[in-house]
Structure 1
Amino acid sequence: MGLGDIRHDHVIAATVEFRRLGRDKFLRTYGFGRAMSYELVLDGLRYDSKAIAGVAHGYATGDFWKARDFSGGAATVARCLRELGFVVETGAADNRAALLARLRQLKVSRGPGNPDPSRHQPLSLLWAMARAADDRPRLTPWPTFRDEVGPLLVEFGLPNAKATPEYPFWHLQGSGLWEVRGIPTELAKRVPNVGIFNQRHPQAGFTAETADLLCDPVTRLEAIATICETYLGDIDRQALFSRIGLSGYTTAGGLLTACVEETGGADTDEYGRSGGPAPRREATRSVIVRDEALARKVKELEGGRCQVCDTALRYLNRPYSEAAHIRGLGSPHHGPDELQNLLCLCPNCHILFDGLEIYVDSDGHVRGTRDDRAPRPLRRDPGHPMDEAHIAYHRTLCALKARIPGVG
């Protein structure tokens, strides 16, 4: 079941409920953030298009989709609603631009004799974004913030800078993106000291509006990249992301991690040779169910040849290629399983693409993030549609990893 199950009357029913509950309650009830790009316009009123589609799907099938259950955008929700006769307009994109502008203009302090801006606020915001990517509550009690952010400031803050988590906890309110709750008005007129925080246990985090914006994976990636480029240019991002809970942003999708060696394996002789079969262990895992018909389609369109290096492989006397998602399916990318999000690649180029070693520039040329390969055009069949938004998302990931200004 998909968006094709939705009919005109299902959309109308969703808009009726939207008006009955009010926008904020409607979005909160069904698990959506505010529209980032597309809004349904009906009788002079504007509705969040993806939320309307998810609720309309519930009226059509009984399965009320949440934001993460399907992809929004021009090729999915907007097209579906327009085909049903509705008007869909671009809207709310200015909110994303305003968010990024505020992130670039944080009122960060500078210590005596140190020209570099303090990293306290940027690191605290990245920590909060990691929580958002993990669907954690947007407001965090002071003890949790202190115990988790404090060590980050020691590990990744400026050399010789004092770790004072109480400062970003309170002063991030000046960004317009952050709020603190639980401090009485009479105490909030001046900066409360740590003793008051320890006594009152206030909560802090992104404002509801900011949290809604960061629910969108594209906006969240752009926000993370903006913070890193503006304030954290010389930090080991792989180490930081691993430590902070953003390790999903170090690859484009499904790279496998190396297995950890375990004790108790098969006995070996003096030359390290095993005396029996390799040991086994039971494991349970959750995997994303992909549309195999789409994978076959992209391979057929591209003739089984790699779109990057033009290699045509054979395995067991049959053509072999791999369908690679441009924007990864799983967390934190939540890309759609659709033809516009697929490339036909050989295994080598698939690994390089997922590992953010190569990217497609705005002119359609494949380049190396280490600047160690000559650019070459991405080969594409005229019948193979590709969404530039997915390609741009992958470019931003590459820029984030490789510190390449302007790639995103």
Structure 2
Amino acid sequence: MALTDITRREVEKAIEECDRLGRDAFLDLYRFGRARRYLLSYGGREYDSKAIVGAAHGFLPGRRALTAADFSGGAAHAAGLLRTLGFEVTEQPPAAGPTADELLHRVTHLKVNRSSGHPALYQPITLLWAMGRAARGEPRLLAWSATEKALAALLTRHGMRGERPRPDYPVAALHRVGIWTLHGHTGPGPSAHGDAAVRRWFTGNQPVGGLAEPLYELFRDSEVTRLAVIDELVGTFFDGLDHTPLLADVGLAGLETPGVTGPTAAEPEPWLITAAEYERGCRLIEQREAEAGRDRVRRTTLSPKRSLTARRLVLGRSEGRCENPRCTGQPADVTDRRHPILEVDHVVELADGGRDHPSQMVALCPNCHAVKTRGSTRETLRGILLRVAAERHAGVPTRAQDIPPAEGSPGSGASDRAAAPPGLHGPI
């Protein structure tokens, strides 16, 4: 994916489509929110610059439209491209309120009640439910009666630490930190404390609410972000509990298999990933690593489950091809979901001090995985794969001629595709 491939012709086609459909229908079709800062001025009308560029990419031969998570709309990216093509772009004052990244930081640093000695699950259950709705593209805002009914049922079934079926508690708490928006009420918002007063506020006001819009759009468009938040919520709040039924109930089960939900599900190659997504996912993994290292209690109580995010990033980086430079041929077949037959492997096991991070992980075909696990040359191969993982993570192509041949093999045994650059969609 390269924004620089877009010309005026594709942009004008996107503008024509927006005029034909109308602004809101156009944004819904391409799953963008309204522009908060940069507007494209054309023919006496204004358009959402990032959405226009995302749609324009889909008019390139053989390309798909981009989602909001695929690229930046800032002055150096979408807005800059439009100006380079000769379009007028106006800049609005920065919107008030937190950015998507700031909101995401609040989600991954939830403060919950721990008076029982364990973290309460009200807010994590509510967030996972809302994330599932976003992944399916369901409306962001919902009437309180519908929210109350859905969350009360979830809290009854999955409140594994004695949580009562009281959705007003978590919604009020999430609203107070800006993660949840509430509309249609008079006066100040609800207090996050107390009991009867919180219930009375929701009963009397019957607000319409949901995730803050930037956060909803991020959860809707970015599978990597959803996986990172699941990793965080599960590791922090569900330690020692079986969270699998809850994820199934909210529609987030099976996300360790790419392409199950979300806007990428119907695409021909759902394992592909953009450079922006790869960078964001690694940043979230590294943030979690750093915080676990500083927090002694957290480090000893974290679930041993491996990161869904890291696995997804490595599979996306691989572009569906075995990352072993010595691979003599992986299966040409794919799974029922059109996914490559690959296994993501930790080159250095976590028990031996390895990191749950793409820089120490590789995607291997079943044959190469077996050699790395129990082959007589496994120690040599492990050293090669550790180097390959670091290079591909850094965006450095692995050169086949630099890899020593396997013992007893004619020539190098490395496939030509080993010299290909990392499997990302290209520059952002």
**What is the one-letter code of the residue matched to 2:157?**
E
Residues 35-184 of structure 1 aligned to structure 2 (within 5 Å): 50-56=50-56, 67-68=66-67, 72-73=70-71, 85=84, 95-111=99-115, 114-184=116-186
Q: For the residues of structure 1 that align with 2:242 and 2:257, how far apart are their CA atoms? A: 15
**Residue 212 of structure 1 aligns with which residue?**
217
Alignment partner of 2:255: what SS? helix
**What amino acid maps onto 2:146 in structure 1?**
T
Quote the residue 1:243 is aligned against. 249
Distance 1:95 1:199, change over 3 A: closer
User: Per-residue displacement from partner, 1:338-386 (whole Å, max 9, x unpaired)?
Assistant: xxxxxxx7x4xx2567xxx999944354389xxx958534585454222
1:232, distance to aligned residue in structure 2 (A): 2.9
Report how far residue 136 of structure 1 moved: 0.7
1:125 Cα offset (Å): 0.9
2:367 counterpart of 1:363: no
1:385 aligns with 2:390: no
The residue that corresponds to 1:399 in the other structure is none
Distance in 2 (CA, whole Å) between partners of 1:321 and 1:17 is 39
RMSD: 5.6
Asked if the contact 2:141/2:208 (under 8 Å) is kept, the reply is yes
Separation in 2, partners of 1:205, 1:84:
35
Q: Given that residues 238 and 250 in structure 1 are in contact (C-alpha distance below 8 angstroms), is that contact kept between their aligned partners in structure 2? A: no
Deviation of residue 158 (structure 1)?
Answer: 4.2
| CA–CA distance in structure 2, aligned partners of residues 387 and 360 of structure 1 | 19
- How far the C-alpha of 1:211 sits from its partner, in A, is 2.0
Q: Please give the per-residue CA displacement for 1:28-85, whole angstroms capped at 9, x wherever unaligned.
A: 685314789xx8999xxxx976523234358889x997655x98349xx969x86995
Query: Cα 1:9–1:306, aligned 2, differ >3 Å: closer, same or farther?
Result: closer
Alignment of 1:295-314 (within 5 A): 306-308=322-324, 310-312=326-328
CA distance in 2, matches of 1:305, 1:174: 46
The alpha-carbon deviation at position 96 of structure 1 amounts to: 4.1
| 1:24-35 pair list within 5 angstroms | 27=27, 31-33=31-33
- The answer (yes or no) to whether the contact 1:142–1:204 under 8 Å persists in 2 is yes
Are 1:30 and 1:66, in contact at CA under 8 Å, matched by a contact in 2?
A: yes
Are positions 1:222 and 2:225 aligned together? no
Which SS does the other structure have where 2:151 is aligned?
helix
Q: Which runs of 5+ in 2 are unaligned?
A: 42-46, 87-93, 271-317, 365-371, 374-378, 390-397, 399-416
Question: Separation in 2 of the partners of 1:187 and 1:54?
Answer: 36
Output the CA distance in 2 between the equivalents of 1:175 and 1:245: 25
Aligned partner of residue 210 in structure 2, secondary structure: strand
1:202 aligns with 2:207: yes
Mapped to 1, the partners of 2:51 and 2:419 lie a distance apart of 31
* Change in 2 beyond 3 A, CA 1:158/1:305: closer
Moved more, 171-180 or 119-128: 171-180
Contact 1:110 1:117 in 2 (8 A): yes
Q: Which amino acid aligns with 1:220?
A: R
Q: Does 1:321 align with 2:321?
A: no
Task: Give 1:233's aligned residue.
Answer: 239
Distance (Å, rounded) in 1 between the aligned partners of 2:161 and 2:321: 50
Secondary structure of residue in 2 paired with 1:250: coil
What CA distance in whole angstroms lies between the structure 2 residues aligned with 1:170 and 1:248?
30
Distance 1:239 1:250 in 2: 15
Q: 1:7 — aligned with what?
A: 7
Residue-pair matches, total: 301
1:235 Cα deviation after fit? 3.2
Q: Which residue identity is paired with 1:312?
A: T
SS at match of 1:179: strand
Q: Is the 8 A contact 1:72 1:78 kept in 2?
A: no
Q: Is the 8 Å Cα contact of residues 3 and 57 (structure 2) preserved in structure 1?
A: yes
- Residue type matched to 1:32 in 2? F
TM-superposed CA distance for 1:130, in Å, is: 0.4
Indicate if the aligned counterparts of 2:35 and 2:48 stay in contact, CA closer than 8 A.
yes
Structure 1 pair 56–362 and aligned structure 2 pair: CA distance change class (3 A):
closer
DSSP 3-state at the match of 2:110: coil
* Residues 363 and 57 of structure 1: CA distance in aligned 2, closer, same or farther (over 3 Å): closer
